[in-house]
Chain A
Amino acid sequence: MSSITEEVVDSASIAAASTKRKSLWLVAIRNPNVIFGGVILLTMLVIAILAPFLGTVDPTRIDPASRNKKPGTEITYRLDDGTTVKRVAIMGTDSLGRDVYSRVLYGARVSLAVGVAVSIISVAIGMVIGLVSGYVRWADGIIMRIMDGLMAIPGILLAIALVSIWRAGLITVVFAIVVPDVPRVVRLVRSIVLTVREEPYVEGAISVGTPTWILMFRHILPNTVAPLIVQGTFLAAAAILTEAALSFLGIGIPPEIPSWGNIMAEGRTLFRVFPHNILYPGIFLALTVLAINIMGDGLRDTLDPKMSKKV
């Protein structure tokens, strides 16, 4: 027992590195995928916000005189005060004479709003239910049965069913997409809670008498943040696609609102002659979703390496 008194306080062997934990977020934003996707996404965001200033006209304005023009056609606009303006419709016009370029740019607003809204709302609701399910034993059975049931209905069908109940509109479309997403978030959160609560450090916290809510917020919840950000990113991408699909099928957002899905729906009938009505919104849609997915891959690789091994 004598050696212990001779042993020095071994502060020297404690890593002298920074006192802060290496921040994963710093690593994440340096990931090339995150940068690449982020830049495209940011561009889309700028386009959406600045749509009125990018040489657009009112995207809902119907002009019978200039219906079905091919991209690059010069169009004469008659303004409300009677004067006329000539401008080139770089993406052509649709069958009601609306300017496709303006509609596509304004469409970015709808898509991004749907993506952001759906991912935030699903994650928020899913997190609360998931925490309850993972921590409150008696509630777990009931909650998970309901979630299993909801998951048994293929996502887009559930959204279609909800849209048919609620009738179409931006808010109802958002919630129709949220409902099928929630069970997926619940499962993720619940599985993290169930794993983390078995960790010795959580058991240690229990044994020093830490109240349940502190246990939750301090020791369990932070573990869900990174996976939820990753999940939320992918949900946003999927939501944008689902909204476009619903609108394309004519059961989503009301057709006068310029969304990419609506533009394409409108362009379907005359597709053989005027493919641009589908092509341009299609490119914007695919590019946006691609950017989010690539960013999501990058985030997952850096923030949540365990999950990146799985899928």
Chain B
Amino acid sequence: MLDFIARRLIAIVPVLGVVAVFVFLMLRLTPGDPAAVIAGDNATSDQIADIRTKLGLDEPIWTQFAIWIGNVLQGNFGESFFFKKTVAELIAQRVEPTLALAICTLVFAVSISVPIGVMAAYRQGSLIDKAVMGFSVLGFSVPGFVIGYCLIYVFAIELGWLPVQGYVRIGVNFWQFAERMVLPSLTLSVGFVALISRITRASVLEVLNEDYIRTARAKGLSNRVVLMRHALRNAAVPILTVIGLGIAILIGGAVVTESVFGLPGLGRLTVEAVLSRDFPTIQTVILLFSVVYVVINLLIDISYTLFDPRIRY
């Protein structure tokens, strides 16, 4: 088992390596002097020269990469000239709303979508199945910001049940925090529920065609036992895989949702950074999200062993 974890960890090194190279090259690919780009529009020539020496921009590109990756590995992501802070500080400030949104969405979406996916598979062709499939296509098709504004319009503006926008830190006032998380989580959940319910239905349907399901029926087991004990556990691995891949959708969705609901999270930060061409921040956010994404999928990989004894790494 430890052996396996070690091997998986090594396997993600090249993946993260490619990400790092891409993120490093971003600044070099943009037209203009990287130091000037980082310093922003109203920087003095002294500041630019200072950045130049810090990043070793006069050195060959390999050395620059070595300096950069060395800094990154020490947690030094540079300085945001636009926000006048180190990027690390900036991110630490903005993590909470994004994390809260992601966790709420994940918990809510998974607890809804797996049961409805199983129901749809079990009653294939029924009204429930058609409704789930219909909802899922719809969920894939309606963009998150349209859903977000519709929800705001109905629940915040017309009905006045919930606040329109904004964020209150969880430590400041939990109740206010919670009522501000409802609509954003709901918005972000729609696409995720569409994805997971669909894959759940498909995996369960596929498992129901397996020979061992026939064996289970030949034993005289009831349909419910066949479904819950034999089908669902075998369908778990593909469902988990897609949940892992869906994290990418979640991250992308967070960028949009935070903008709609005015949440001061990392997604909103990404957009602000791009609009102000604040490259150190853009680079760090992309690096961070990618690492999180890869690590979550690594954890999911490892969790397969809990569901399928054949996976012995």
**Which residues of A come within 8 Å of B, CB atoms?**
145-146, 148-150, 152-158, 160-161, 163-166, 237, 241, 244-245, 248-251, 264, 271-272, 275, 278, 282, 285-286, 289-290, 292-294, 297, 309-311
Interface size (B, Cβ < 8 Å)? 53
Instruction: Tell me the bound Cα distance from A153 to B21 in angstroms.
Output: 12
Contacts of B17 in A (CB 8 A): 149
Instruction: Tell me the bound Cα distance from A109 to B199 in angstroms.
Output: 33
Instruction: Tell me the bound Cα distance from A293 to B140 in angstroms.
Output: 8
Contacts of A163 in B (CB 8 A): 274
- The SS class assigned to the B binding surface is helix
Q: Does B290 contact A (CB under 8 A)?
A: yes
Closest Cβ neighbor of A153 among chain B residues: B290
Q: A152-B293, A157-B286 are in contact. Are A244 and B143 (CB under 8 A)?
A: yes
**Min distance, Cβ A161 to any Cβ of chain B, angstroms:** 5
Q: Does B228 contact A (CB under 8 A)?
A: no
- Whether the pair A157, B141 counts as a contact (CB closer than 8 A) is no
Q: Does B263 contact A (CB under 8 A)?
A: no
Q: Which of A154, A241, A297 contacts B248, CB < 8 Å?
A: A154
- Whether the pair A282, B146 counts as a contact (CB closer than 8 A) is yes
Contacts of A164 in B (CB 8 A): 26, 30, 274, 277, 279, 282
Instruction: Specify which of B145, B153, B202, B279 lies most central, judged by the most chain A CB atoms within 10 Å of its CB.
Output: B145
- Whether the pair B29, A165 counts as a contact (CB closer than 8 A) is yes
- Whether the pair B146, A286 counts as a contact (CB closer than 8 A) is yes
Which 4 A-B residue pairings sit nearest by Cβ, starting from the closest? Answer: A149-B18, A156-B252, A282-B146, A290-B141
Instruction: Specify which of A146, A156, A264, A309 lies most central, judged by the most chain B CB atoms within 10 Å of its CB.
Output: A156
Instruction: Tell me the bound Cα distance from A249 to B141 in angstroms.
Output: 18
Taking A157-B251, A278-B146, A309-B202 as known contacts, 4 extra A-B pairs with beta carbons closer than 8 A to each other, sorted by chain A number, are A153-B290, A164-B30, A271-B153, A282-B150
- Whether the pair A250, B293 counts as a contact (CB closer than 8 A) is no
24 contacts between A and B (CB under 8 A): A145-B15, A149-B18, A152-B293, A152-B294, A153-B19, A153-B22, A153-B293, A155-B252, A156-B255, A158-B286, A160-B270, A164-B282, A241-B141, A248-B259, A249-B255, A249-B256, A249-B259, A249-B271, A278-B146, A282-B150, A289-B143, A290-B141, A293-B137, A310-B202
**Min distance, Cβ B122 to any Cβ of chain A, angstroms:** 16
Closest Cβ neighbor of B25 among chain A residues: A165
Q: Does B198 contact A (CB under 8 A)?
A: yes
Closest Cβ neighbor of A156 among chain B residues: B252
- Whether the pair B274, A145 counts as a contact (CB closer than 8 A) is no
How many pairs, one residue from A and one from B, have CB atoms within 8 Å of each other in the complex? 142
Q: Report B1-42 CB contacts with A as 1/0, cut-off 8 Å.
A: 000000000000011111101110010011000000000000
Closest Cβ neighbor of B253 among chain A residues: A156
- Whether the pair A152, B277 counts as a contact (CB closer than 8 A) is no
Q: A251-B271, A275-B153 are in contact. Are A157 and B145 (CB under 8 A)?
A: no
Instruction: Specify which of B146, B255, B271, B289 lies most central, judged by the most chain A CB atoms within 10 Å of its CB.
Output: B146
- The SS class assigned to the A binding surface is helix
Contacts of B22 in A (CB 8 A): 149-150, 153, 161
- Whether the pair B137, A251 counts as a contact (CB closer than 8 A) is no
Contacts of B29 in A (CB 8 A): 165
Closest Cβ neighbor of A294 among chain B residues: B137
Contacts of A249 in B (CB 8 A): 255-256, 259, 271
**Min distance, Cβ B7 to any Cβ of chain A, angstroms:** 16
- Whether the pair B274, A251 counts as a contact (CB closer than 8 A) is yes
- Whether the pair B145, A248 counts as a contact (CB closer than 8 A) is yes
